[in-house]
Amino acid sequence: MKDEHLKISFIVPWITKGRGGTENVGQLMANAMADRGHDVHIYTFDDQKGPSKWPLNSCIWLHHLAERDDAKSNNQMTIALAEPCPDLIVGLHMNRTLLRYTVAAQKICVPLVLSEHIDPHFPNRLGVFCDEERQAAFVGATR
């Protein structure tokens, strides 16, 4: 089988703020794909446009998205994701932001893998994200 190098876009929510496990998993996955020769882009939510708090391969492109969650920032996120013409989008998170990723990926017709980093019932128990919203996001993902 011929080696195929892909353009992979990772959405790692707060990699510039160093918040925790999701960001750690994201940098591990992104670095592993870059080490294999793939063209890797990381998108993060940071109005201050800070550097990654996690070590990144020098070949990885870091893109800053608006922290807002409104129609304008969702459109800007979709355009930013479309610009490098990715072969795959990998969205990491644990709440309704996953649905934003699903909508953006469907708009630009790019396969989407969602990676959830929490007990799937925890947000519902807190009353912040119901099971129906979670299922809507995952049904819209490719994998």
Is 105 inside any structural domain? yes
Q: What is the mean pLDDT of residues 90-118?
A: 84
Is 99 inside any structural domain? yes
Is 123 inside any structural domain? yes
Do residues 40 and 30 touch, judged by C-beta distance below 8 A?
Answer: yes
For residue range 50-88, list pLDDT tens digits in order: 999 999 999 999 999 999 989 999 999 999 999 999 999
pLDDT band at 1 (very low <50, low <70, confident <90, very high): very low
Residue that the structure tokens 């990885």 belong to:
60
Q: Kind and range of the H or E element at 139?
A: helix 131-140
The CB density around residue 127, as the number of other CB atoms within 10 Å, is 7
The CB density around residue 64, as the number of other CB atoms within 10 Å, is 16
Is 2 inside any structural domain? no
Q: Supply the CATH number for residue 112's domain.
A: 3.40.50.2000
Is 61 inside any structural domain? yes
What global pTM score does this model have? 0.85
For residue range 106-125, list pLDDT tens digits in order: 999 999 998 876 677 766 67
Is 55 inside any structural domain? yes
Cα–Cα distance between 28 and 57 in angstroms, integer? 10
Using alpha carbons only, give the angle 138, 141, 143 rounded to the nearest 5 degrees: 95
User: What is the three-class DSSP state of 106?
Assistant: helix
Q: For the chain, how many structural domains are there in total?
A: 1
Is 1 inside any structural domain? no
Q: Which domain holds residue 89?
A: 7-140
Is 18 inside any structural domain? yes
